[in-house]
Structure 1
Amino acid sequence: MHNGKTQKVRVLYSFPHKLGADRICYTAWQQVNGLAAAGAEVLAFPGVLQRPVPANVTVNPTLSWGKARISYKLVGTMRACIWHDYIVSRRLEQLAGQVDIVHAWPLGSLRTLRTAARLGIPTVLERPNAHTRFAYEVVQKECERLGVVLPPDHEHAYKEDVLRREEAEYDITYRLLCPSDFVVRTYLERGFERKKLVRHIYGFDEKRFYPDTKPRNPQRGFTMLSVGVCAVRKGLHYALEAWLQSPASNDGTFLIAGDFLPAYAHKLSSMLAHPSVKVLGHRNDVPELMRSSDVLVLPSIEEGFGLVCTEAMGSGCVPLVSDACTDLCMHMENALVHQVGDVSALAGHITKLHSDRTLLEKLRTTGLRAVPEITWNAAGITLLQVYSEVVASYSSRRDSHAIINRVGSSHDDQSTPANNTRTVTS
C-alpha cells in the first residue's frame, strides 16, 4: 500500500471475459463495484467492458478498442484468455511499485501470476467454483448415472487443456479466493495447505432483490422456485423427485426459470409434465418471481456459491439448498440445508415448510435481517479486508526470507575463511 493518510489498497483486477455480462461476468462486475465503494484503488483490465463501472475505477480493456472487439466465439475462449493474460502481464511489468496486489481470474492469468511473483507482488486467484478437477469428476459421474451426455463444448465437459492450465494457476498464485467452505474443502481434499485458501463472500443487489411489502395471503398456494441454468450440476432432477414425493405437489406449484440442456430436459420429461410443474424458460423477471415464491430450491451436486441463495433471502424467499451451496444458508436459521443427493431429506424440507407456515415465516424473517451483511457492498468490504491481510502476510513472508538470507550470508562470510584455511608446509 502506498504512503499517505488513506492507505488505499491498489489492486490490479484482471478479468479475461466480458465484465458486466452474465454469470461470472456479472459476479466480477459487482466485485469491482463493491471494491470501489469500499475504498480500494481499482485498476481493472477486463477483456471487454460490457457495462459501466464507477467513475473512480480506472478501466483499460485488453481485447477491445473503442467499438472494435475480439470475438470470443470466433477465436475461442481459451485463445482469447491467453491473449488477455499476455497483455496484462506486459502491462504489469510497467506497473512495478504502483500495484499492491493482483486479483486474477481462472484461465486468463498464468503469465500474469508468474510476472507478479517475479516482481514481488502478492496475487489472489478467484475461485468462483469448486476445484475444477473435482467439478469435472462429480458432474461426469452424475451424468453417467442419469444417462445424460454433455456436449463437448459444455462448461463442465472434461477438457484436459483447461484443467492443465487452471491447475498451473492454482500452484503459482499466492492465495486462492474461495467464496464458500465447500470450495475450500475441495482444495483441502486435494492436498492444498489451508493457509493458501482464503475466504470471502459474494453478495446480491438489494436494489433489485427486495421483499414484497404487502402481507402474504395465508391461503395462497405453496410455491417453490428454481432459477438458473437447468443443468445436471444444479441437481434439478433431485428437486423434481423431492417435489413429487411431497404432498406440496398436490396443491402447490413448482416454477422452473432457466434454459435446459436438451438431453437433460428429455431425461426429466415425465416429471416436468406433472401438472404442478411449470417450466418458464429463461426469464428477466427473476426478482418478481422470488418475491412471489415461498422457497427457492438449489440442490447442487457441486457449487461455488450460488448467487440465487442470497438473492432469494433478500427477496423474502427461503432457500432449500444442498450443503454444496454458500454457508450463508444456515439450517433452521434462514434456510433448510440437506446433504448433496439426499432426496428424502429435501422432500421432508419441502413438506415441512408447506405445512408449517410459522416456520416458513421465521426463516424468511431471519434471512431478511441478514441483508446488510450479504450485499455486494458488504462483500466488497470483506474482500478489501482480505486484500489487506494477504498483502501483510506476503510482506511478512518476504521480510522473513530476507532476514534468513542475511543471516545465512553472514554465517557464510564468517565460516568460509576457517573452512578454506589449509596448513602450508615447506
Structure 2
Amino acid sequence: MGGRMRVLFSFPHAIGASGIGWSAWNQVDGLVRRGHEVHVVAASLARPVPGARVTTTLAAGRVRIPHRAIGRDRAFRVHDLAARALLRRGDYDLVHLWPLGTGATAREASTRGIPALREAPNTHTAHAWRVVGAEVDRLGLGEITTAHTADPVHLAMEEAEWEAATGILVPSDAVAESFAAAGFDRRRLLRHRYGYRPGTRRMHPRAVADPGGLRAVYVGLGEPRKGLHHALDAWLGSEASLTGTFTVVGRLLEPYRAHLADRLDHPSVRVVGFSSAVDAVLAAADVLVLPTIEEGSALVTYEAQGAGCVPLVSAAAGAVLDHGVEGYVHDPGDVAVLRDQLDLLAGDRGQLARMSEACLRHAPSLTWDAAAAALEDCYERAVVLAAGGSAPHDVFDPEETDRAVAV
C-alpha cells in the first residue's frame, strides 16, 4: 500500500491506437512515471510505451495480426490465454483488465488471491444496447450498425469478466449507476477518471468583447449514441444560430448522415469531417456541444476544458465539471434546456468568459497525470477488497480525488 506495485496490464487490442487504445496507453504511461512496474500484454503495439515491459499476443515481430484474420472471438481467446500464462509464471500485485477477452486471466488472478480490476469504459453493456437501440428505433434508422449493436456472445464474455474481477473501474457516475442498477455491489465499483494531454499551444480564455456570434463545435463520431441530432435541433432552435456557427467535426455514419441532411445544410452549420487537430478545433470554439445519450467519460470533455472551451453536455457524457462553473449539464434528450444554455452564453459574453477561465483553472486536475493518481488510489482500494476488507469509499468522491491528484 502506497509503494511500488507490479501490475499486469492486459489490453486485447492495439495499445496506443485511437480510442480506448489511447486511454490505455496513457494509463500505463502515468503508472510507469509514478514508479510502478507495469507489464503490458497487448494484442499489438501502435505506440511504444517507455519504461514498461511489453508482450504482444497478436503480432509477428513488428507486423500486427488483425483480429479478423483469425476471427475476433478466437483472437480474444488467444490473447486471454497468453495473458493468463504470463500471470501464472510471474509475480504480480495486481491485474488491470480491459475488455474483451480477459475472463481466464481474471479467474486466474482470483485463484491466486491477486486483485483484478476490470475497466468499464462505457456503461453496462446491456444498458448501452437498450439506450442506443431505443434511440435508433425512435429515429427510424432501421439496421444501422454501430459499436453498440447487440452481440450476445460478447455480452457473455463481459459478464464472465465482471464476475471474476475484484472490482470494476468506472470513469463516471453514469457508468457506476448503470452497474449498480444491474445488481453490482457498490463496494466493487471503483471510481477513477480519464484525462487529456496538454499540448504546446498556449490556451486563452474567451474574450468578453467579441464581434462575432457564438462559435459552437461538436467533436466525435456522428452516430445516434452521441446525440448529434439533439445538438443540431437545439442549435437550429436557438437565437445563437442567427449570428453564430456550429461546426461538426467527425465522421458521420450512414444512414445517420442522410437523416440529418436538411439540418446539416443550414447556413450556420459547417461539416468538416475527421480532424486530428482536436486541440486547434477546440481552441477556435467557444463551446463544445455533446448531448450524448450513452457514454463512459468522453475524452473530448477533458480536452475542451484544457482549451478553455466551455462544455455544454448531457449528464450521460461523463464530464468532470461543476454545473454552472466550468460548463452546463442537461438531461439526455432535453433539447429545450440545451437550447437555452446556448442562448444564455450567446447573449452573455461575460458569463462565457468567466466559465472559460474556470475551465482553464480546472484543467490541471484533468490531465492524464492526475488520472494516474486516481487510478493508483483505486489499485490500493482493490488490494483491500481482495483481502476481504471494505474499500474506503463505495464510489469515487470527485472532491476528494481532486485533492488527491493535486501533486
3-state SS, counterpart of residue 46 of structure 1: strand
Amino acid of the structure 2 residue aligned with 1:59: V
Q: State whether residues 208 and 287 of structure 1, in contact with CA within 8 Å, keep that contact through their aligned partners in structure 2.
A: no
CA distance change for structure 1 residues 102 and 209 in 2, over 3 Å: closer, same or farther? farther
CA–CA separation in structure 2 for the residues paired with 1:262 and 1:393: 45
Structure 1 residues 161, 12: CA separation in 2 closer, same or farther (over 3 Å shift)?
Answer: same
Q: Secondary structure at the match of 2:321?
A: coil
Distance in 1 of aligned mates of 2:310 and 2:301: 8
Q: Which of 30, 34, 37 matches 2:30?
A: 34
For residue 126 of structure 2, the aligned residue among 133, 140, 155 is 133
Q: Match of 1:422?
A: none
Partner of 1:411: none
**Aligned CA distance change for structure 1 residues 83 and 208 (closer, same or farther; 3 Å):** farther
1:178 aligns with 2:170: yes
The amino acid across from 2:4 in the alignment is K
Match of 2:84 among 89, 97, 103: 89
Distance in 1 of aligned mates of 2:295 and 2:195 = 15
Q: Could you list the per-position Cα deviations for residues 26-75 of structure 1 after superposition, in whole angstroms to 9, with x for gaps in the alignment? A: 11111111111222211111110101112x21111111131233122323
CA shift at 1:112, angstroms? 0.5
Q: Aligned pair in 2 of structure 1 residues 208, 80: CA closer, same or farther (>3 Å)?
A: farther
Report whether the alignment pairs 1:206 with 2:198.
Answer: yes
Percent identity of paired positions between Structure 1 and Structure 2 = 40
Please state if 1:265 is matched with 2:261: no
SS in 1 for 2:217: strand
Native 8 Å contact 1:210 1:316 kept in 2: no
User: Which of 292, 300, 305 does residue 308 from structure 1 map onto?
Assistant: 300
Query: 2-side partners of 1:210 and 1:271: how far apart?
Result: 34
1:173-322 equivalences under 5 Å are 173-207=165-199, 211-212=203-204, 218-322=210-314
2:344 matches 1:356: no
Cα RMSD, aligned residues only: 1.7
**Structure 1 letter corresponding to 2:243:** D
Q: Which residue of 2 aligns with 1:144?
A: 137
1:346–1:213 CA distance, 2 compared to 1 (3 A): closer
Equivalent in the alignment of 1:410: none
**Which residue of structure 2 lines up, in the alignment, with residue 384 of structure 1?**
376
Q: Structure 1 residues 179 and 214, CA, compared in 2 at 3 Å: closer, same or farther?
A: closer
- For 2:27 and 2:134, how far apart are their aligned partners in 1? 33
Instruction: Confirm or deny: 8 A CA contact 1:210 1:291 kept in the other structure.
Output: no
Please give the TM-score of this superposition, normalised by the length of structure 2: 0.92
- Structure 1: 5+ residue stretches without partners: 399-426
8 Å Cα contact 2:167-2:190 kept in structure 1 = yes
Bigger CA drift: 86-95 or 174-183? 86-95
Which residue of structure 2 aligns with residue 78 of structure 1? 73
Structure 2 counterpart of 1:114: 107
Contact 1:353 1:359 in 2 (8 A): yes
Q: Tell me the secondary structure at the aligned position of residue 324 of structure 2.
A: coil
Give the superposition deviation at 1:393.
Answer: 2.9
Choose the corresponding residue for 1:21, options 13, 17, 23. 17
Corresponding residue number in structure 2 for 1:59: 54
Task: Describe the SS at the equivalent of 2:288.
Answer: strand
Residue of structure 1 equivalent to 2:3: 7
Aligned residue pairs total: 390
Structure 2, gaps ≥5 residues long: 391-407
Whole-angstrom CA distance in 2 between matches of 1:134 and 1:209:
39
Partner residue, 2:405: none
- Provide the secondary structure at the position in 2 that maps to 1:221: coil
Post-superposition offset of 1:147: 0.7
Structure 2 counterpart SS, 1:300:
coil
Answer with 12-21 or 68-77: which moved more: 68-77
Counterpart Cα distance in 1 of 2:143 and 2:96: 32
Within 5 Å, give how 1:323-334 maps onto structure 2: 323-334=315-326
Paired residues of 2:209 and 2:349 also in contact (CA < 8 A): no
Match of 1:50 among 46, 51, 56: 46
Q: Following TM superposition, by how much is the alpha carbon of 1:327 offset from its aligned partner in structure 2, in angstroms? A: 4.5
Query: Larger Rg: 1 or 2?
Result: 1
Distance in 2 (CA, whole Å) between partners of 1:210 and 1:62 is 40
Assess if the C-alpha contact under 8 Å between 1:140 and 1:157 holds in 2: yes
Partner of 1:161: 153
The 2-side partners of 1:10 and 1:213 are apart by 41
Secondary structure of 1:319's match?
strand
